Structure 1
Amino acid sequence: MQSPDEPQFPVTPPKYNSAQSAMTVVIGFEGSANKIGIGIIRDGEVLSNPRRTYITPPGQGEQTRFMPSDTARHHRAVILTVLKEALEQAGLKPADIDCVAYTKGPGMGAPLVTVALVARTVAQLWGKPLVGVNHCIGHIEMGRLVTQADNPTVLYVSGGNTQVIAYLERRYRIFGETIDIAVGNCLDRFARVIKISNDPSPGYNIEQMAKKGSRYVELPYTVKGMDVSFSGILSFIEEAANKMLSSGQCTAEDLCFSLQETVFAMLVEITERAMAHCGSQEVLIVGGVGCNLRLQEMMGVMCKERGAKLFATDERFCIDNGAMIAQAGWEMFRSGCVTELEDSWITQRYRTDEVEVTWRD
C-alpha cells in the first residue's frame, strides 16, 4: 500500500462504473503544440491513445524550438495515419463513435487550426456532434480519471502553462500562475543555452543531467503572493552559464540541478499555500513537466508533512495526448455541451477559468 506522500497512479485507468449509463464513446483530437494525438474513451476506459511528436531536424534541435508553421505541417502529414491507428487499436468503426472532441485552445495557432479543421471535417463526414475542449481542463479531467483523485488542488505545469487550480462552484479557479513564461518554457530555453538536444525533449534531458549535479548554484527565487516568475531566473542563469562553465566554477549538470531545485521549490510553495486556503488534502500534478520525478519527489515531501496525498500520472497521460481531450469531451457531452459548427473556432488564449464546469456538483 502506498504511503500518503507517494504519487498515486494506477497501471491501467479504471473503467467508469455506472449501471445507469449507456455506453458513450468519444474520440479526442489534440494538437495544441508539438504533439499530435488522437484518443478514444468509452465511459472512462481508454481504448486507444496513439500520438506523434514533432522534433526539430538534426542541426536545429540544439538551437531552436519548434515553430508553429513547421509543427502544423508535421501534424497535417501524420494526422490521418494517427486517426487510423486510433480506430484500429480501439477496434471501432466511425459508426461506433458518439461524439468528436477537439482542442479549442490554448496553444499555438497554426497547429490548433490544423487539428480543429480535421476534427470538424470528421464530425461532419461521420454525422457526429462536435465538442470544443479547453486543453488545460483536458489535463485535469484525465488526471482525475487515471488517479481517482477526489477534489485535489491541481498543479498544471507544461511548456506553455503554469497554474495552481482548485475547483469551486462550477469553475476551475486559478489560485496562482506564472506572470511571465511557463516553467516548461524556462527549462526548454535554458536547454538551448547549454545546447541540450530536443530529442526526446529538452525537459527530460535536463532532468537526466540534473541527477548528476552535485553543487547548488544560488539562483533568484521569485514568488509573488500566489504567483511565480521565471523570466528573471532564466535571464540570470543564461548570463551566468557561459562564465561559470568556462571558468570551471560548476558543470552543466550542476546548473541543471540548481535550476530544477529552484523552480520546483517555488511551485511547491504556491501549491501548499493553495492547499491551506482550500483546506485540501490532495495534490494532483498534470501537464508535461508533471512527469519529472524530482518535482514529484519534492511535492511528495510537502504532502507527507501535511498528511496529504500526492497524485500524478506517467508519460502516457501526463504529456499532451488525445485521450485527455476525449475524456474532457466525454464529460462535457454527457452533461449536454455541444459545440455548434459556426462556433467551432480555436482560441490561442483560452483560460481554464473561462469554462463552466457543468459535469461536477
Structure 2
Amino acid sequence: MATTGCGLVGTTNSEEKRNGIRVSGKGIPGSGTSGNDNTGISFSESVIAKATEPSGSPGVHSAENPGFESATLLDQLQDIAQNAETATPIMDFITVHIEKADQKTADAMLSELQTFYARNLDDVSYLYYSIEEKLINKMYDYSLQWPVDENAAAAILDDEAREFILQLSMSGYKLGLAQGTFEPLIDYNRQMQFGKWLSETMNQYIEIEWIEAEQPFAKDGGLLISWDELAQRALRAESFLQKYPDASEESRVRELFDMYLNVYLGNAHTPNTLVYDYTTLKLNAEVRESYGETMKEFPDTVTAKLIAGLLETLVSTKDQLMMKDQSNAYLFMPAVKTFYDDLPSKIDDLLPTS
C-alpha cells in the first residue's frame, strides 16, 4: 500500500489527492523580470493602468454594453496570469478590479488565481528549498505568531527574512510551521476578503479549502483533528458535491471528500491514528461512537450510508478489520477488503453526476 506525504496509507491515488489539498511546496519565486524588465508589482501596476483608461477604452463599463467591462477585465487578468512569475500581479489586479466585475466574472477571476497556484507549485518549491536553511536559522530567533502572514512579519528584525515573508504575503501565501518544518501555504483569508462579490458556490469552495489550510486534518502519520471533525469535513465536502455537481471546483472537492472519507472509514489510514485497535484489530470504540453520531445526525447522507455499509460488513467479521498472514503482515479481512475495493463505485453511484 502507498504512503503519502502526510502519512496516509491505503489507496494508490491518495498521494495525488493529498497534494491537491493545499500548497505544501516551499517558497515563492522572486519578483524577477517577465520579458520586459518589469517586476511582478510594477507589471501589475502597468496592467491596472491599462484597465482604467478613460471612457471608450477597453475595460470601461457602458450603458450600451453592460457586460463589456467584465469580459475585458477577465481577458486582461488572463493575460497577466499567462505572463506572471508570481501570483502578486494577479492578486493585485483582482483586489483593484473585482468590484467592477459581475458575479460570474468575479468567480472566474478567483479561478484564474487558483489555477495559477496549482501550476506554479514547482517554481514555488524550488525557490523555497534554495533558501530554506538560511531562512529557518533566522526565523527561529524570533517569537512569532503562526502562521506568519504580512502582519506577523512586522516583528521580524532581519531584513531578508522579513522581505521574503512580505513577498510571500503579496502573492497570497503565508508561512506555516508544522513539526518543526516551515512551509508556504495558500492564505485563503486573502481570497475570503472577496466574498461579497463571489457566488455562494465559490464562497463555499474557498471555505472548504480555508478549513484544511488553517488546520490540516493529518500530518506525519497522525490525525490532527478528532474523528468527529473529520466526519464534519467529509460532510461539508459532500454537501458541496450534492448542491453543485456542475461546479468547476467539483473535481477538487471530490478529491477532498474521497480523502476524508477513506481515512474516516479506514480504507486509507494514518499509521499513528488507526480506526482499529492495534491489539485486537477490531474497530476502535471511539471511531464506532463517532460513526453512530454521524449516522444519527445525518442519516440521509452518502457518508452515513457508507458507514452503515461498513458496519454491516463488520458484523460478519465480528468487528475485526485486520488480520495477520503467515508472515505476520497485516491485511484487511477479506469481507472488509471487498467493501473497500467497491467503495469508489459506491460513492459514484450515490453522488449526483454532472
Indicate whether the TM-score tops 0.5: no
User: What TM-score results when the alignment is normalised by the length of structure 2?
Assistant: 0.27
Q: Relative to total residues, which structure has the larger helix share, 1 or 2?
A: 2
Larger radius of gyration between Structure 1 and Structure 2: 2
TM-score normalised to structure 1 length: 0.27
Greater RCO (CA < 8 Å, at least 6 residues apart): 1
